[in-house]
């Protein structure tokens, strides 16, 4: 048997003993949280009721409470958590490549290009709410920070996460300086523009071609919303926090950082939970083309709440994972996390088959509560499928394709069996 060259060994994905188990658990939780938020637009719940009176739908009387809880515990928190993990992955990727002499930046650019292609396929042909293309494009902005100091990473991460507050506050001051009022301007009449209404109707009863057209329209609208709500700098800020966390070994050596993790867990909950709860009570005030005082307060609450609960989830799960009883319980989620990309895409496939007109045609015909129950059932199925898969395969199916694109060579998908090891 020949020994792989140094370059070949370097140009290989992280697997086996190189993986940090707690990160897979956190990813597994993040996959569930993202599904809880995505199930709302995927099902059409609270968005477009095709049955007339939404209050007549089964479970609808609990929708207000369910909407509040989703806004409180999930909205923007799990995308922030995935962004934090994306930064960790970036740091791990470059660290491993640089240690073995491979061109880490070149490989990382290929990795981002592959992720962008996957995201574009997802957002066009499956579901418009894709986040992968956003991660891929923002990931290029991480490269200039690859040799930044710990201090620079923390300062830049904090500044980026807080930038919506500064920008929105500055816009409000300009409005006041020009003689405007800080009061909330009158709401625009007319609701959604007709072309968006038509696109939504396509999801509920159109052909697959109509769905694709609607996906393209809503993908463009989604980018406009992300820019207006200043979503992008907050994501990049979380990337940088993830790079810092890996650099100092927060997840790799959690026992040594127990004190830091405990402080982060406590203080992020103290500040994040009240801010998130109040923001959820206020409702979504993010898209305000004319800045007002209420929108400014909501922006502060959104930034503090999303970052705070993101850090709380990450630190609390890491601390719990250090305790043997909890480690056993949490490990059931690790297979979902180790195949997070495949599971993220599979969620969309399951949901459009269940809800869209090209499937079982439940779009806009279920309450939010029922949609969440369906989402939980989808995740339960994913736990079973992922556990079955990782026992037999080295990577998730999409992860496997992505890695081959990144490194430009084939990797075996299936784990060797006892019979093949004896040959």
The answer to whether residue 1 sits within a structural domain is no
160 is in which domain, residue-wise?
6-422
Report pLDDT for 8.
41
Residues in contact with 289: Cβ distance below 8 Å, sequence separation at least 6, in sequence order = 228
Q: Residue 408 and residue 30: Cα distance in Å, rounded?
A: 29
Q: Provide the pLDDT confidence category of residue 269 given band limits of 50, 70 and 90.
A: very high
Least-confidence region, from 211-225, 275-289, 331-345: 275-289
The answer to whether residue 166 sits within a structural domain is yes
- Choose between 96 and 410: higher pLDDT: 410
Q: Which residue has the tokens 């904090």?
A: 158
The answer to whether residue 367 sits within a structural domain is yes
Question: Closest Cα partner for 49 from 364, 259, 391?
Answer: 364
This prediction has a pTM of 0.91
Mean pLDDT across the chain: 88
Q: Residue 342 and residue 118: Cα distance in Å, rounded?
A: 11
Q: Residue 402 and residue 423: Cα distance in Å, rounded?
A: 30
Question: Closest Cα partner for 130 from 347, 302, 314, 333?
Answer: 347
242 has pLDDT over 60: yes
Q: Which residue has the tokens 């640089």?
A: 98
Q: Residue 50 and residue 205: Cα distance in Å, rounded?
A: 10
Question: What mean pLDDT is predicted for residues 121-129?
Answer: 96
288 has pLDDT over 60: no
The answer to whether residue 380 sits within a structural domain is yes
The answer to whether residue 301 sits within a structural domain is yes
Rounded to the nearest 5°, which phi and psi values hold at 415? -75, 145
Angle between helices 397-407 and 340-355 (to 10 degrees): 130
220 has pLDDT over 70: yes
Report pLDDT for 248.
95
Report pLDDT for 419.
46
5 has pLDDT over 80: no
Q: Count of domains in the chain?
A: 1
CA angle 223, 229, 231 (to 5 degrees): 70
191 has pLDDT over 80: no
Report pLDDT for 141.
96
Question: Closest Cα partner for 156 from 278, 241, 54, 38?
Answer: 241
342 has pLDDT over 80: yes
334 has pLDDT over 90: yes
Report pLDDT for 198.
81
Report pLDDT for 9.
43
Kindly report, residue by residue over 134-166, the tens digit of the pLDDT.
Answer: 999 999 999 999 999 999 999 999 999 999 999
Question: Closest Cα partner for 15 from 342, 400, 326, 394?
Answer: 394
Q: Residue 316 and residue 17: Cα distance in Å, rounded?
A: 23
| Helices and strands of the chain, counted as H and E runs | 18, 0
Structure tokens at 136: 């891929």
């Amino acid at each position: 048997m020949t020994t792989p060259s140094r370059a070949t060994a370097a140009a290989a994905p992280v697997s086996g003993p190189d993986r940090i188990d707690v990160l897979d658990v956190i990813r597994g939780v993040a996959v569930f949280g993202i599904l809880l938020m995505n199930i709302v637009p995927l099902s059409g719940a609270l968005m477009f009721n095709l049955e007339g009176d939404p209050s007549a739908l089964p479970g609808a009387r609990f929708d207000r409470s369910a909407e509040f809880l989703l806004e409180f515990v999930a909205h923007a928190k799990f995308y922030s958590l995935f962004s934090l993990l994306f930064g960790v992955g970036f740091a791990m990727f470059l660290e491993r490549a640089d240690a073995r002499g491979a061109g880490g930046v070149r490989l990382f650019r290929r990795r981002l290009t592959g992720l962008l292609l996957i995201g574009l396929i997802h957002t066009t042909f499956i579901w418009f709410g894709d986040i992968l293309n956003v991660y891929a494009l923002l990931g290029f902005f991480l490269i200039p920070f690859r040799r930044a100091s710990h201090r620079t990473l923390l300062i830049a991460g904090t500044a980026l996460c807080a930038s919506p507050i500064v920008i929105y506050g500055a816009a409000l001051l300009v409005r006041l300086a020009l003689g405007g009022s800080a009061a909330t301007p009158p709401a625009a009449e007319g609701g959604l523009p007709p072309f968006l209404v038509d696109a939504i109707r396509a999801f509920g009863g159109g052909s697959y071609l109509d769905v694709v057209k609607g996906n393209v329209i809503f993908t463009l609208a989604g980018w406009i919303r992300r820019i207006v709500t200043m979503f992008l700098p907050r994501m990049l800020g979380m990337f940088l926090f993830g790079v810092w966390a890996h650099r100092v070994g927060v997840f790799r050596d959690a026992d040594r950082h127990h004190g830091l993790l405990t402080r982060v867990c406590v203080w992020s909950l103290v500040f994040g939970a009240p801010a998130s709860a109040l923001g959820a009570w206020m409702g979504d005030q993010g898209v305000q083309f004319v800045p007002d005082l209420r929108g400014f307060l909501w922006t502060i609450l959104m930034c503090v709440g999303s970052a705070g609960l993101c850090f709380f989830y990450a630190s609390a799960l890491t601390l719990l994972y250090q305790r043997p009883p909890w480690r056993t319980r949490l490990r059931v989620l690790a297979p979902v996390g180790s195949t997070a990309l495949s599971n993220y895409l599979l969620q969309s496939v399951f949901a459009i088959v269940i809800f869209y007109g090209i499937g079982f045609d439940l779009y806009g015909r279920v309450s939010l509560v029922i949609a969440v129950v369906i989402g939980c059932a989808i995740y339960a199925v994913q736990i079973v499928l992922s556990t079955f898969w990782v026992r037999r395969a080295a990577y998730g199916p999409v992860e496997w394709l992505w890695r081959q694109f990144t490194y430009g060579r084939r990797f075996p998908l299936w784990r060797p069996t006892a019979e093949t090891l004896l040959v």
